[in-house]
Structure 1
Amino acid sequence: MRKVLFVCTGNTCRSPMAEALLRQLAEREGLDVEVKSAGISAVDGASASNQATQVLGEKGIEHRHASALLRRELVDWADVIFTMTANHKAYIIHDFPESVDKIFTLKEYASLDANQVAAYQDLDQLYAEMESKRAEIQGRYSLKADEPWPKEAEEAWQNEIGPLLAKEQQLLRELERVARSQDIVDPFGGSVEQYRQCAREIEKAIQAIVARWKE
C-alpha cells in the first residue's frame, strides 16, 4: 500500500480536495492507496470550506473532513508527500530534512520524468545538507540563531559550502529548461468557480500521477 499525504496551508481547501480526488480515482483504478492531508498552519478539527465541499459534491464525492496540523507522525507515516506550493515544500524540508527524498510539489511530481524528479531530489538534498552544515558551524562556534557570525565562522562556512554551491549551480542549469511555476494557487475566500478551477488543476496532476503509478 502506498501512503500519500497532501499538504497545504490551512488544510481546508486545496489539500482536502486533493485527498478526496485521489481517493476516488485510486478506488476507480483499483490502486492500493491510503490518503491523508494536513496543513502547515492548520487548526485541528476544522471542516473543509463550503466551496471545497460543494465542488467535491459536484464530482459525486462526499468527503467528511477534519483539518490536521502537520506533525512528525504524519511526515513519518507518509511514503510520499505532495505539497501545493514550493513554499510548503521548503517549509517541510526545513523542519524535516531527513524526509527530503519523499517531498514534492504536486505539479512537479506530475509533470516531470524520472530523471527530472531525481534532479529535483538531488537539489533538495543539497539544500538540506547546507542547512545541516549551517547548524553544525553555529554549534561549533556556540552561535545563537540571530547572532552575527564572527569572521572565522564565516570563513569556515564558505569553505564548507563552496563545493555544494558549485553543485547547486549545475543542478539549476539542468532544471532551467523546465523551470516554471509549480504552485497551485490558494482559492481561500474566492468564488466557487475559483475552487472549481483549483480542483481541475489538482485533478489533472493527480490523473498524471495515477497513470504513472499504474505503469
Structure 2
Amino acid sequence: MTSFARVLFVCTANECRSPFAEALGRQQAGDLPIIFESAGIDAWRRPTPDVGRLHAHERGIDLDHHLSRTVPWDDLAVYDVLLPLTRAHARELLAADASVRSRLFTVKQFARWLADHRRPRRAAVGPWLDAVAADRSRAELLGASVADDVADPIGRPIEEWRAMSAELDSALSAILVGLFPPR
C-alpha cells in the first residue's frame, strides 16, 4: 500500500496563490503519491476573483467552484509538508504550532532546499523531514529574503497572475523532483 504525502499550501485568503499552487501541483504530480490542499490565514469562503479564474482556464485548471478555506489550525501536524507562500505566513504557522518546524518551508525555499536534500525513495516524507530538517537555521526555516515570497496578484492585472503561476510552476517542478527523484 502506498502512503501519500499530504502537502498544505497557505496564503492570506486562499483566493489566489494557494489555490493555484494546489491546482498546479495536482496538474504536475499526475499519479505521484502526493495530496495537495490549500488554505488561508484569513479565509472567508470567497471565490477566486474573475481575473484569476480566467487565468486558471488559460492554464487548463478549474477554479470556478473554489471557495476559500481557513487553515486547520488544530490539525497542522497531520501534514507532511507545510508550504506557505510568504515568510509572514510561515511565521504565523510556526507561532500556531511549533511542532511543525521541521515540515515548514516557504514554497520557493523548499524548492531550493530539496536540490541539496533529495528524499530517499522509500522514506515517508514527513518523518524524513523530521529527521533531516529539524536543525535548520531561522533563515532556512522561514526564508532568507523577500525573494522567498510569492507576490499576491489580488487586484492586479492578468500579467501578475501569469507571473505568479510561472513562479509556482518552477518551484513545484523542483519540489516534485526533490520528493520523487526520477529513477
TM-score range, shorter chain: 0.7 to 0.9
Q: How does 1:48-127 map to 2 (within 5 A)?
A: 48-63=48-63, 64-112=65-113, 113-114=116-117, 121-124=135-138
Q: Secondary structure of the residue that 1:104 maps to in structure 2?
A: coil
Q: Secondary structure of the residue that 1:122 maps to in structure 2?
A: coil
Task: Give the counterpart letter for 2:107 in structure 1.
Answer: L
Q: TM-score, normalised by structure 1?
A: 0.68
Task: Give the counterpart letter for 2:17 in structure 1.
Answer: R
Residue in 2 that maps onto 1:21: 24
The alignment covers a number of residue pairs equal to: 160
Alignment partner of 2:5 out of 2, 5, 21: 2
Question: C-alpha distance in 1, partners of 2:107/2:78?
Answer: 18
Question: C-alpha distance in 2, partners of 1:74/1:48?
Answer: 25
Residues 1:60 and 1:87: Cα distance change in structure 2 (over 3 Å): same
Task: Give the counterpart letter for 1:23 in structure 2.
Answer: R
Residue in 2 that maps onto 1:167: none
Residues 1:23 and 1:204: Cα distance change in structure 2 (over 3 Å): same
Alignment partner of 1:198 out of 148, 164, 179: 164
Query: Of Structure 1 and Structure 2, which has the larger fraction of its residues in helix?
Result: 1
Q: Secondary structure of the residue that 2:137 maps to in structure 1?
A: helix
Question: C-alpha distance in 1, partners of 2:75/2:144?
Answer: 30
Give the C-alpha shift of residue 120 in structure 1: 7.8
Question: C-alpha distance in 2, partners of 1:54/1:120?
Answer: 40
Q: Secondary structure of the residue that 1:38 maps to in structure 2?
A: strand
Task: Output the aligned Cα RMSD.
Answer: 2.2
Q: Secondary structure of the residue that 1:188 maps to in structure 2?
A: coil
The answer to whether the 8 A contact 1:100-1:121 is kept is: no
* Ranges in structure 2 where 5+ consecutive residues have no aligned partner: 119-128
Task: Give the counterpart letter for 1:19 in structure 2.
Answer: E
Residues 1:5 and 1:179: Cα distance change in structure 2 (over 3 Å): closer
Structure 1 residues 47-77: Cα deviation after superposition (integer angstroms, max 9, x where no partner): 1122221112101112331211112244133
* Ranges in structure 1 where 5+ consecutive residues have no aligned partner: 125-171
Question: C-alpha distance in 1, partners of 2:148/2:172?
Answer: 14
Structure 1 residues 60-107: Cα deviation after superposition (integer angstroms, max 9, x where no partner): 112331211112244133111101111100110011111111111000
The answer to whether the 8 A contact 1:5-1:82 is kept is: yes
Residues 1:121 and 1:39: Cα distance change in structure 2 (over 3 Å): farther
Q: Secondary structure of the residue that 2:51 maps to in structure 1?
A: helix
Residue in 1 that maps onto 2:154: 188
Task: Give the counterpart letter for 2:42 in structure 1.
Answer: S
